[in-house]
Amino acid sequence: MRHRAARVVRLILFSMLLLAGFASSLVGAWVPPAGAQATAPAAPVAPTANASTVRVIEARGVINPTLAHYVDRSIVQAEQDGVAIVVVQLDTPGGLDTSMRQIIQRILAARVPVVVYVGPAGGRAGSAGVYITYAAHVAAMAPNTNIGSATPVAMGEGGEQQMSPEMRAKVNNDATAFIRSLAEQHNRNGDWAEQAVRQGANVTAQEALRLGIVDIVAADVPDLMRQLDGRTVTTVAGPFTLHTGALSVERVQMGYVDALLHAISDPTIAYILLSLGTMGLFFELSNPGSVLPGMVGGICLLLGFYALGTLPVNYAGVLLMGFALLLFTVDVFAPTHGVLSTGGLISFILGSLLLFNVPEFGPWLGVSFWTIGGVSTVMAGFFVVVARLVARSQDAQVTTGREGLIGATGEARSALDPGGMVFVDGALWDATAIGGQVAAGERVEVLALEGLRLTVRGVLSSVSSPR
């Protein structure tokens, strides 16, 4: 009864964990809107010509809510500290439209000049990165970098949404108007920006400079500062001339929490976290008392749900993976010789294939077939091993407690006619013999336990009558 009650409690906690996980996946993508921190009581300090610091923010990876929140907070802090210039060093394959617009709104509302520098060498400003570069007060690129491929893709609960020609035209027109407005505000090439949206155009740094897409091509940040010296820019605080010759460069890194949340928002890492969480919880449910696997599995599963909340996922894939975990769990409480676990493994593989089924959204959003195959193979082996351990534990004879005494043998310490004393399992017990008198010193077998009195019989009398 105790084991059954413990399993019921674990099942309830497991269900609550799943509900919390799905809730976090739905709201995990929410961050304070761009500019929300700018309304804090402390008023930002307007940049001045004699400010002595250039603050460099590194924005690498997918544009998602975590990165948008980091850039927003960093610009607000730079305003409050009164730095001269904020440089956003950008290297991104693209990202989410909502997060991109949060960053752009923060840049447009900044009282300090914001320079977007696509770098280092080998970096890129793809998709959403094009819009962010066009929104900067000064746009710069490092040699051997590229910019472009800004065609929007509609996402929904089922992954990429197939749009009608009319709807696609509306989406492209909206994106084109948006990027043209940014180009006009900063006097950049609006025609090429439209090509990047409608045709996925992509150019190198030198071509971007020649076409008027960016303002500067600089080898590094010090070179960028030399070329910025004497340039006039206009922010919401008004126009002023940059004097960057004697400015010191200060780099700001992501905090540990932001770096962790941004790292797990990678589709492959999110998928592995979900897989590890599934195996950890299954091991805990099938082996009550193994605290560490359940704790690690729960943390991995919740982090995986958070990552899903920051990514455009196919919720059919999420539900299939959740259904797989449910089948694995039911198979623990109602063993079906692996039938439910096999169905759960098939459901998990199908969910893995559908989870990020958005090939045209960008190469950054997806999990390779090799990863899915490797994780599924490891999971299949894991469940085979655990299922065998569970079956073996269920078939094993109980050796402790009340049930463990039944069938145990001992020695009669006094004659049993029918009552007397016996020595069983390291202790003396009152006993009642059935099937005839038992002499002192004779071996006895325990048949039942009532309170603290055993019912026994002589071992010799049990040879002709099986238990």
pLDDT tens per residue, range 90-148:
999 888 888 999 999 999 999 999 999 999 999 999 989 999 999 999 999 999 999 99
DSSP string, 62-109: -B-HHHHHHHHHHHHHHHHHT-SEEEEEEEBS-B-HHHHHHHHHHHHT
Task: Please check whether residues 384 and 445 belong to one and the same domain.
Answer: no
Contact 275, 379 (CB under 8 A): yes
pLDDT at 111 (0 to 100): 93
In a domain, 36, yes or no: no
Give the pLDDT of residue 429.
Answer: 79
Indicate if 188 and 288 belong to the same structural domain.
no
Domain count for the chain, please give it.
3
DSSP β-ladder status, 443-450 and 453-458: antiparallel
The reply to whether 65 and 141 lie within a common domain is: yes
CATH number at residue 434: 2.40.50.140
pTM beyond 0.75: the answer is no
Residue ranges in the chain modelled with pLDDT below 70: 1-51, 153-164, 288-289, 332, 335-337, 357-366, 386-404, 460-467
Q: Provide Rg for the chain, Cα atoms.
A: 34
For residue 288, say if its preceding peptide bond is cis, omega within 30 degrees of 0: no
CA of 350: how far to CAs of 201, 276, 301, 317, 326, in Å? Answer: 35, 17, 18, 7, 15
Residue 135: inside a domain: yes
Choosing from 395, 422, 452, the residue where a domain stops is 395
Q: Mark which of 203, 237, 259 sits at the end of a domain.
A: 259
Specify whether 433 is located in the same domain as 344. Answer: no
Q: Quick one: pLDDT at residue 108?
A: 95
Q: Is residue 282 in a domain?
A: yes
**Same domain (yes/no): 239, 302:** no
Domain that holds residue 434: 401-462
Structural domain includes residue 352: yes
- Report the pLDDT value the prediction gives residue 88, as an integer from 0 to 100: 96
Residue 126 belongs to domain with CATH number = 3.90.226.10
d(CA 71, CA 116): 12
Within a domain: residue 455? Answer: yes
Examine residue 35 and state whether it is found in any structural domain, yes or no. no
For the residues of 415-443, what is the DSSP string, one character each? -BSSEEEEEETTEEEEEEE-SS-B-TT-E
Q: Are residues 229 and 362 in the same domain?
A: no
Residues 325, 277 share a domain: yes
